[in-house]
Amino acid sequence: MTNPGQSGETVPHQDFGVYEVFAQTQPLGAMEWQASLMAGSPQMALSLAQQNFLRRRQIYGLWVVPRDAIAKAPTDPTDPSHAADALFRLPKGYRELSDYHYLVSKWRQYQQQAMTPDTMA
Amino acid sequence: MDVADRTQEFLARLDSGHKIEAEDWMPDAYRAELIRLIRLHGISEIMGTLPEKEWVPRAPTLYRKLALMAKVQDEAGHGQILIRVAEDLMAPLHQNREDIMADLFAGRQKFHNVFHMPVPTWADAGLIGWLVDGAAIITQGMLLSGSYAPYTRALRRIVEEEGFHIQHGESICMALAEGTPRQRAMFQDALTRWWPSLMMFFGPPERSAPGGAGAGSHQRANLRFRIRSKTNEELRQRYLTKYVPRIRALGFSIPDATLAQDPDTGAWTYQPPDWDLWRRIIGNGGPRSADRLELRRMSYVEGQWVRDLLSSTRKAV
């Protein structure tokens, strides 16, 4: 057995891969990133994830994903294809509920009209 | 854009509150400061399990034993989380946790001064939980608003668990404070023993940092990079403000006759610890440095077969 660190500047690296850990902490919740860890197999990664990150809380689902399997959009805003670029610089209310809130007052208006004494007579 | 322009743009982004992710472009100096800080933090969590675990077999009750084991397990977990964050920063340098361990064993990787010290009584174990973890949470709470997102995400989880550690330590110290004269004397002795180490905890103020003129450059660089928002001395002052009244309220005396708070400014004056001694301690010249390093090395070497078994390319054993 070699003495780590005493022989030279470099040490052989263990053949572990990086796994990203996702867990569902509410029965109807989304899978949420928790942590990353190193493991030699998915089974080992699951076991480490439970022991290291989730032993204090009830969880409903657990994923470990090899980091290599994740394609990521760049987060650096100086990168021309960074993640925030997915927000198109166009009006986008057409797909938001807030653009349709006026319908509530419209309906209220129509209901009140319908219930005036004139129309009820 | 050349590196100088990119660095200016990067600093401006930090000033506007932008957070940096692991794969973003960053100046080499930013990466180097983060690696230095997070390696030190991570390996200190790992080495920090050793003084406390000495008291697991000797804890006075089953309740205390279970709580202490849970705490030791948390600290090892914090080490795992932090070293993973450091590894992502070290990846471009083709280094990982095994290099950190090798550096630790070769004396090239420092760990925190408090974990070089002996823990002779149960009161020392309680004091670590209350006053050492209390100091750690002051540092970590300040780092929570730092500019490097993966580190602050890791810290969020760590600080949550440290909350339990402090209460656990407080509970032990409270029991001793409300105990027999012998228990109170045991705590007073532990406090007297630990006070200089606690005053060293946050590191030297800039003026007496190693290197003389232009010293304290890591503190200054970390402030500029918005990795930290307060100096060592500001943290120490905050610590004194929080803990001196608590210690005195329990009727214990702090072994520093010069300790005083300015009623107008709130600033504390205190007997500065021996910073040369601090340098010797973190240079592995502390009373328990060699023993703890040897224990860590032994457990690393003896655990090699487990890592081999768990690695993806299994070797015949």
Contacts of B273 (CB under 8 A, 6+ apart): B196, B199, B200
Structurally, chain A folds into a number of domains equal to 1
Residue A2 has pLDDT above 50, yes or no: no
The strand pairing partners of A64, in sequence order, are A21
Whole-number CA gyration radius for chain A: 27
Q: Is residue A2 part of a domain?
A: no
Q: Which domain holds residue A28?
A: 17-115
Written in H, E and C, the secondary structure of A49-72 is HHHHHCCCCCCCEEEEEEHHHCCC
B71, B73, B252 from B78: Cα distances, Å: 10, 9, 32
Q: Which two tokens stand for residue B178?
A: 């409300």
Min mean pLDDT across A7-16, A71-80, B34-43, B100-109 is at: A7-16
Within a domain: B9 = no
CA B296, B210, B90 angle in degrees (round to 5)?
50
Q: Which residues pair with A36 in a beta bridge?
A: A20
Scan for tokens 């768990």, then name that residue: B310
CB B117 within 8 A of CB B287: yes
Name the minimum distance, in Å, from the CA of B181 to any CA of chain A.
37
For B72-130, write each residue's pLDDT tens digit: 999 999 999 999 999 999 999 999 999 999 999 999 999 999 999 999 999 999 999 99
The verdict on residue B48 lying in a domain is: yes
The residue ranges of chain B whose pLDDT is under 50 are 209, 211-215, 317
Domain membership of residue B93 (yes or no) is: yes
Q: Give the helix ranges, DSSP H, for chain A.
A: 42-53, 102-114, 117-120
For residue A96, the model assigns a pLDDT of 86
How far, in whole angstroms, is CA B220 from its chain's centroid?
Answer: 19
B238 occurs within a structural domain? yes
Q: What is the pLDDT of residue A1?
A: 42
DSSP bridge pairs for A18: A38
CB A35 within 8 A of CB A52: yes
CATH at residue A31 = 3.10.20.520
Q: How much is the pLDDT for A77?
A: 83
Structural domain includes residue B317? no
What residues pair up with B260 in beta bridges, in sequence order? B269
Contacts of B101 in chain A (CB under 8 A): 4-5, 11
Q: Is residue B11 in some structural domain?
A: no
For residue B115, the model assigns a pLDDT of 98
In a domain? residue A48: yes
Query: What are the two backbone dihedrals, phi and then psi, of residue B295, each rounded to the nearest 5 degrees?
Result: -65, -40
**Residue B81 in contact with residue B154, Cβ under 8 Å?**
yes
User: How many angstroms separate the CA atoms of B284 and B272, rounded?
Assistant: 21
Q: Please identify among residues 12-51 of chain A the ones whose CB lies closer than 8 Å to any CB of chain B.
A: 12-18, 35-41, 44, 51
Average pLDDT of the segment spanning A103-119: 85
Q: Look at chain B and report how many structural domains it folds into.
A: 1
Q: CA-to-CA distance for A121 and A101, rounded, in angstroms?
A: 32
Query: In this prediction, what percent of chain A has a pLDDT beyond 70?
Result: 79
Residue B257 identity (one-letter amino acid): A
Position A49 in a domain:
yes
Query: Is B136 strand, coil or helix?
Result: helix
Measured CA to CA, the distance from residue A29 to residue A35 in angstroms comes to: 17
Q: Provide the chain B residues 100-139 that lie in CB contact (below 8 A) with chain A.
A: 101-106, 108
Residue B214 confidence (pLDDT)? 45
* Chain position carrying tokens 């000033």: B15
Report yes or no on B13 lying in a domain: no
Helix (DSSP H) and strand (DSSP E) numbers for chain B: 13, 2
| pLDDT value at residue A6 | 52
H/E segment holding residue B268: strand B268-269
Chain A residue with Cα closest to B1: A78
pLDDT of residue A38: 92
B99 interface with A at CB cutoff 8 Å: yes
Strands (DSSP E) contained in B44-113 are none
The four Cα atoms B134, B139, B141, B145 give a dihedral, to 10 degrees, of: 180
- Helix (H), strand (E) at residue B39: helix B28-53
- Asked if the structure places residue A4 within a domain, the reply is no
Taking the CA of residue B109 and the nearest CA in chain A, the distance in Å comes to 11
Q: Which domain does B76 fall in, by range?
A: 18-310
pLDDT in tens, A18-55: 999 999 999 999 999 999 999 999 999 999 999 888 88
| Alpha-carbon B38 to chain mean position | 10
Q: Which residue of B has its CA nearest to A3?
A: B301
Judging contacts by C-beta atoms under 8 Å, the chain B residues touching residue A12 are: 98
Report whether A32 contacts A25 (CB < 8 A). yes
Please report the pLDDT score of residue A101 as a whole number.
92
Residue B253, in any domain of the structure: yes
CATH of the domain at B132: 1.20.1260.10
Q: Out of A17, A36, A76, name the one closest to residue B84 (CB).
A: A36
